[in-house]
Amino acid sequence: MAKENFSVARVETRTRASVGKFERHIERKNESYENMNVDLSRTPMNVSFKGCGELTYNEYLDQMIAAETVSLKGLKPDAKVFDEMIMDVNTEYFEKNGGYDFACRFYEEAFRFAEKIYGKDNIISAVMHADELNVAMTEKYGRPIYHYHLHIMALPVVDKEVRWSKRCKSPELVGTVKEVIHQVSHSKKWRSEKALDEDGNPILNSKGKQVYHASYSVLQDKFYEHMQSAGFNGFSRGERGSTAENLTSLEHKIKQDQKRLSDLQEKIADVQVRYDDKKTASMTFMEIDNSGKKSLTGKYTVSAEDYQKLTSLAKRSYSAESEVRKLQDQNRYLSRQIWSLQSEVSRLKEALSELTEKCRPYLEALKAAPKAVKEFIDGILERFKKQEKSIMYEPIPAPKNQPQERGQRSKNRNYER
C-alpha cells in the first residue's frame, strides 16, 4: 500500500536575539550546516519569493519600526517577535508530480497563502529550499532526491485601536478611535477560534461551554483548503495533534540498521537448525522430529548416534542463547551510548555556534585587515604583560593594624601624657 502524503504548516517563534541563527540557515549565509544533508552545490536552486536585500531580519524590522509600519510598544526585550512558518508535504509527493518545477509552482501558491495570513507587508522573507537531500528517498530511488519545503519569516501583526481617554479636552471624542497601531503580538495573532457547526452556531461541550479550535489546527485546515482550491491535490491534511517530524540523517541510518537487524533475525529463526562440529553433528528440523521412537511404555528411545547429535546440538543451542543475550545486552549499552553521544554532540554544536557568533566580529576584522588586527592584538598583549609585571614587583604595603615598634609606642605614650 502506497504511503499517504500529508501537508504540514507549523509556526516556530523567534526572539530578536535568537532569530540570527535561523536567518543564517534560511538564507544560506553559513559556510557549513549542522544538517549534513545540505548540498551547497544546489543552493542556487533555492527560490526566494521575498527577501530583505542586504539587510538582516532585525535591521529590516528596525526600518519598519522607524517608518511606524509596525510597533513593538509594550513588549519585553526577550519577547517573541518573529514567526517562522514552515510549509511542507512529503518528498514523494513532489517526486511523483514533476520534482523541482512542480515544487516551485506549489510553494509559490503557498507563499500567496502566507500573504493572506500575515499581510503582504509583514512578511520579511520567503525561501523555498531545494538543496536538502532526503536520504531515505535517495536510497529508495537510487539517485539523489531532494526535500522541497518553504520557510516564511514574518511578523505577527494585529491592529490595535487606541481610543481617546476621559482626559481629552473634547468630550465628544472620548471613547472614539484616536489611532490604529499595527502591534506585533504573537499571542493575539494566534488566538484560538470558536468552533461552529454547519449552520454557523457555536459548538458546546457536555458542560455547555464553548468549544474552541486551536490556532495551529485552524492554520493546518486553512493551508490544506487553500492549496486544494488552487488545484494542488493528491495529499491529505496533516494528522491532527501529530508531533511527527522528519528524521535526521543519523536517525534514518539507525532506523535502517534496526530494520536490517530485524530481517536478519527473521532469517535466522526460519533457517534450518544445523550444527557442524568438525562435521560430527548435523541435523535438520525433520531429522530431529524423526530421531526418537516411542516404545510400548510411552517412552522415547533414540540411537546412540542421534543421541550424540542431539546433545551436541543442545549444548550449542544453550551456548548460542547465552551469546544472543550477551549481544542484546551489548546492543542496549551501545544504544544508550549513541543517544548520549548524540546529546553531547548537539550540546557542543550549540556551544560552537554561540562561540562562533561571539568571535564573528574578530574573524571578519581579521579577514579584512589581518596585519592591522595582529598589531592591535599584539599591542594589547604587550600592555597586559607590562601591567602584570608591575603588579608582581610592586612593594606590599604593611597592614593598617600592624603593631608599631616598641620605642615608637613608648614615644607616643609619653607624648600623650
With cell 544472543, the residue in question is 324
What is residue 209's predicted lDDT score, i.e. its pLDDT?
78
Higher pLDDT, 69 or 384: 69
Residues of CATH 3.30.930.30 domain(s) within the chain? 6-244
Question: pLDDT tens-digit profile of 288-336?
Answer: 666 666 665 667 676 777 777 778 777 777 677 777 777 777 777 666 6
Higher pLDDT, 64 or 346: 64
Q: Is the pLDDT of residue 47 over 80?
A: yes
Structure confidence at residue 364 as a pLDDT band (50, 70, 90): confident
Q: Is the pLDDT of residue 90 over 80?
A: yes
The alpha carbon of residue 407 and the mean position of all alpha carbons in its chain are separated, in whole angstroms, by: 78
**Considering the chain, what is the average pLDDT of its residues?**
75
For residue 180, give Cα distances in angstroms to 73, 166, 311: 13, 18, 91
Q: Is the pLDDT of residue 58 over 90?
A: yes
Q: What is the mean pLDDT of residues 55-60?
A: 94
Cell of 230: 488552487
Euclidean distance between CA atoms 258 and 252, whole angstroms: 10
> Which CATH entry fits the domain spanning 6-244: 2.102.10.10, 3.40.50.261, 3.30.930.30, 3.40.309.10?
3.30.930.30
Angle between helices 304-368 and 19-26 (to 10 degrees): 100
